[in-house]
Structure 1
């Protein structure tokens, strides 16, 4: 690892340490009779001696490199949702998100983060999301979805969303090919490294610690308390990162004070390898050789497809334990209804995971409220709660819930429904038995089976998915 780290340092310091100076500028060099390949080896050794062969000098050299690199001066990350916290927090949870060929899990990840945390835990962290895809349509849609679904957390300054214009990025043209890679396979991790760097650069001053996760994970309940307890136990020990997941860049905890150095490291070597691999060399630079991983893992990967080209890539952390069904996931979806809706009632509130609710003036027999998932999913539990907190007030007395499947690619409905269960006292909380056909659920429909004498309130339609 140490030798590879030296190679990375020398690659990035061509302007600071002239590696091939002796080959081109000293014609009387005793190695002048060697082949070009042999001369490069000699030049490597001499350049290495110029710096210092000791590991203790790595960081000093890296600091010098930082002074000679200015990639952050043109970065213009901007807040598109929310406001930074007024007071410094214990923890910033960072997510860099782009479009995925098979659909986005970002909303489900955010829901898992907030619902796996108590109200007292949420006071000690902020979630920082970097929407890093240049597609303006996707960016606009994600801003709208996040603003609607997570309004309480935005207002509480617990969620901030940023975007970095593409002009702030280093060029992705003529990138170095390390293993005869195709250009696209080099460009993707190179840009991703910059996505991470700009996210961390923005996060530097908002908390004492920074936790990196991906945009397609679910969280163990109480993960914040477990991390805080671990940090307290390791307060007087040296560490660069503490790992709360075995996978990639998920669940990696940094001291916020180390972020500027790692940001520069990512930008200097963005062409060399993916960020999680660069992290191991950053450990070596700061004198942490073994990984410090805690069990059980607190985060689980939920996307079965690679972000690059949508290739199937089922990554699962075997050390992630689920003691109960946890919080609902409510994957991204659209909501449709033919109920009589007043102008000030927001339909998405029926599906949101906060305290908001949806109200309909009347509910005629045969009317419905249908959740249509953006991506069909394996749903294993459904909960529907109607009525206000006041007993027997505005709940749907007669209705049932159906699961829908789609064989003809309909956009806003399904063509095949099966009965899941009847509402009892305005509610349903039911496990979905395994479907022998193997088809995934696309629609969840609340169907009114008898006209209600008054308006109805739909507090929650909650889905648990695998």
Structure 2
């Protein structure tokens, strides 16, 4: 039977190769032979993924068969026969998830997510796994998701699945996180690009009973133990959903076009050697690590074997050493061998931005030097204006430089009633406006309860629309939303305009950043 299956697979590959060779035109950059090889490698990876899915299904069927189950439900006799097989003393006992996590046997719902929200998209090229947990002061999840989506083309979005794993048991936190994601990314959830899951609390063992290791405190041991189980859960959930799986974190930035770059690099690497196990697109921790979906089970089993003993990124290194280094290899030879299977891509496609760790009291300032500089503001050519503000700026981050597109504005301790003004030397016509507060490195430095106002020369506009005019002649047109963004159109009847103003309605516990200022003239 196995021979027939393999023969069928070989026939598919050969027929596909012949079709590609005869009917697929070669590009100028790539000769026909290279193009053929690339498509064969892609087809081979697809087959590996389908074989992995088939293997998972066969295991499930076998487990049901072993316990005497059928479509009509197990009878008493079939159940007893199944149990007799299982408890036969001569029967070799197989390893399964219940060995490292025996408590799962007490909870039927443990392996079923408590929450799933999405369209069950599958068969994509890339699955991005993003675990997220509650942090002591601020969350980076929404800025991370916004950055990832804005770095993807429509074609990339159609061939990608982003799984957000809310690894918490606090129902109110899970609901709040889900609502925030849906409010900002509803279209992406509705299209199936973004999927949200949360685990059953019974999946995790009693973390308080975990003994500390490596000299870590009990709190740190519990934190890294749960993090390892988070990785394993997410990988198990995602492994059959796409060709490649990429492990990310909830506090990263990406380069534009990163999906295509990863797919191309995976294909080119496989053409050179099929021995690779992981492609590394970030030099830090567990960020930007790409695996074949069909290989994930190997890493998951290793993590589950040692999840209580060491941090996840250490286990990743140990996995490679155990798998690829012989005992008689010295350190240099081992490194050379690892480089054949753990392949780094430069420059890095992801950068770590989180400062506040999910571990209470831990501050992490790690940056990937291979990523390069972050774009922390957006430049625009704004009309000539005199700028004024009652908010003191920090260092070189002045409002004037931000308005000219030279930097972002970073203001200290904004208070209720503070203003930011742009006064034009001659009244002009504005078509639209856009202000974005906060940036990738400081997502909490946003404006939330602040208004946008204009001062018009004509009185007809506000009288016709019943706008309320302040004592100093300003009319309110809009407010910053919950994400710290303000944009809108200005009706021609408002022209000409002599000045615009942002007024803060409340004080803030954070500083304030304006990373984008755009006043578009008509």
Q: Same fold (TM over 0.5)?
A: yes
Q: Which one is further off, 158-167 or 414-423?
A: 414-423
Mapped contact 2:119–2:191 kept (Cα < 8 A): no
Q: Give the Cα separation in 1 of the matches to 2:402 and 2:187.
A: 24
Match of 2:357 in 1: 306
Deviation at 1:97, TM superposition (A): 0.4
Q: Which residue of 2 aligns with 1:83?
A: 119
Q: Do 2:436 and 2:486's aligned partners in 1 also have CA atoms closer than 8 Å? A: no
Counterpart in the other structure of 1:137: 172
**Of the candidates 443, 446, 452, which is equivalent to residue 447 of structure 1?**
452
Per-residue deviation, residues 198-243 of structure 1 (Å, max 9, x unmatched): 1111101110100011000111111111101101101242111111
Structure 1 pair 271/416, CA: closer, same or farther in 2 (3 Å)?
farther
Match of residue 300, structure 2, among 236, 250, 263: 263
| Alpha-carbon spacing, 1:226–1:163, altered in 2? closer, same or farther (3 Å) | same
1:362-403 per-position Cα deviation (integer Å, ceiling 9, x unaligned): xxxxxxxxxxxxxxxx999989xxxxxxxxxxxxxxxxxx99
Matched, 1:125 2:160: yes
Give, in whole Å, the separation in 1 of the partners of 2:240 and 2:358: 29
Tell me whether 93-102 or 305-314 shows the greater mean CA deviation: 305-314
2:211 to 176, 179, 184: 176
CA contact (8 A) 2:282 2:348 kept: yes
CA distance in 2, matches of 1:420, 1:265: 59
The alpha-carbon distance between structure 1 residues 315 and 164, as it changes in their structure 2 partners (threshold 3 A), is same
1:109 and 1:67, CA in 2 relative to 1: closer, same or farther beyond 3 A? Answer: closer
The corresponding residue for 1:333 is: none
Is 1:95–1:129's contact at 8 Å kept on the other side of the alignment?
yes
Instruction: Note closer, same or farther for the CA distance 1:428–1:382 as it changes in structure 2 (3 Å cut).
Output: farther
Aligned to 2:277: 240
Q: Gaps (5+ residues) in structure 2?
A: 1-92, 325-336, 380-396, 404-408, 438-443, 456-460, 468-476, 488-513, 517-522
Choose between structure 1 and 2: higher helix proportion.
2
Is 1:69 the counterpart of 2:99? The answer is yes
* In structure 2, C-alpha distance between the alignment counterparts of 1:326 and 1:65, rounded to whole Å: 52
Question: How many residues are aligned here?
Answer: 325
Question: What is the alpha-carbon distance in structure 2 between the residues aligned to residue 160 and residue 221 of structure 1?
Answer: 21
1:88, distance to aligned residue in structure 2 (A): 0.3
Deviation at 1:92, TM superposition (A): 0.3
Work out whether 1:320 is the aligned partner of 2:356: no
Residue 42 of structure 1: aligned partner: none
Partner Cα distance (2:192, 2:290) in 1: 21
Cα drift, residue 267 of structure 1: 1.7
The 5 A counterparts of 1:65-464 are: 65-66=95-96, 69=99, 71=101, 74-85=110-121, 87-236=122-271, 237=273, 238-287=275-324, 289-290=338-339, 291-322=342-373, 406=413, 414-415=415-416, 417-419=418-420, 421=422, 425-428=430-433, 442-443=447-448, 445-450=450-455, 452=462, 453-454=464-465, 461=486, 464=515
TM-score of the two chains, using structure 2 as the length reference: 0.55
Question: What is the CA RMSD across the aligned residues, in angstroms?
Answer: 3.6
- Residues 215/207 of structure 1: CA separation in 2 closer, same or farther (3 Å cut): same
CA distance in 2, matches of 1:65, 1:251: 30
**1:327 & 1:286 partners in 2: Cα distance?**
46
- Tell me how far 1:449 sits from its aligned partner: 3.2
CA contact (8 A) 1:403 1:443 kept: no
Q: CA deviation at 1:130?
A: 0.5
Higher mean displacement: 247-256 or 174-183: 174-183
Alpha-carbon offset, residue 252 of structure 1: 0.5
Segments of 5+ residues of structure 1 without an aligned counterpart are: 1-62, 329-377, 384-401, 408-413, 433-438
Shift of 1:80: 3.2
Q: Secondary structure at the match of 1:447?
A: strand
Cα pair 1:242 1:252 within 8 Å, conserved:
yes
Tell me the secondary structure at the aligned position of residue 369 of structure 2: coil
Change (3 A) 1:123 1:326: farther
Residue 116 of structure 1 contacts residue 327 of structure 1 at CA under 8 Å; is this kept in 2?
A: no
Matches of 2:208 and 2:374, distance apart in 1: 47
